A = this chain, B = another copy of it.
């Protein structure tokens, strides 16, 4: 399982300040710390980029690339921002991402073909709400595959994100159980191996102590790993979570087991 750092996000004040000041130093330091902590890729999340989209994404991609050669994920709803990031990128890039929302299918999805890169497809309804049962996860995934095919993007380029729901939502737990079952059966459904990614922090969204949030995440991550998750987007500074992720790799057979491989 590749661990993608979710730490470079506009919601962290240090990051938003650095972006506002176009100050690369705190971002470089953050990225190097992420890699040090075990990140295999860096998600760049500057928010929706309603203005200066090209300039900000170019600044971020160049700054991240000055710190690491690891793959980068372009995590914004701005097609202009994604395109600028793709143009500036030398590292491997994944577009994060598109959904059945018409604006995203029309403006973001075609960039995956144009730049010949991987793209994440969110298992969300066209209005961005989450599906409630397993059958709907399948239907939406088929629609994502169809949309990708129409845009000339092959299923090998697609990475499915089933979108973890907050447990505090009324249907959150039921949604996440359907999600796990969906992940387990996805290959049978699709008749081929589709890669999958999920963001872990959403599980514990809401006001609660960090300790409780991390405990939930550490319990849910092995469930998703065992269901065949290829990449997880998470806080790489969460030591317990990172140790759990590595332990999962030993159990799922990604790495040969040895006691020395355990933190």
Contact = CB atoms under 8 A, between A and B. Distances in A.
Give chain A's interface residue range (CB within 8 Å of chain B): 35 or more
Interface in A176-214: 176-177, 180, 184, 206, 208, 212
B253 A173 contact: yes
A257 B165 CA distance: 13
A257 B168 contact: yes
A94 to B, nearest CB: 26
Interface in A114-153: none
A215 B173 contact: no
A176 B173 CA distance: 26
A180 B226 contact: yes
Q: Is the interface of A mostly helix, strand, loop or mixed?
A: helix
A28 to B, nearest CB: 32
A227 B227 CA distance: 10
A226 B226 CA distance: 9
A32 interface: no
Contacts of A248: 219
Nearest to A245: B219
18 contacts: A173-B252, A173-B253, A177-B251, A208-B259, A208-B262, A212-B262, A212-B263, A216-B250, A218-B244, A219-B222, A219-B244, A220-B222, A221-B222, A222-B223, A223-B225, A223-B226, A226-B226, A226-B227
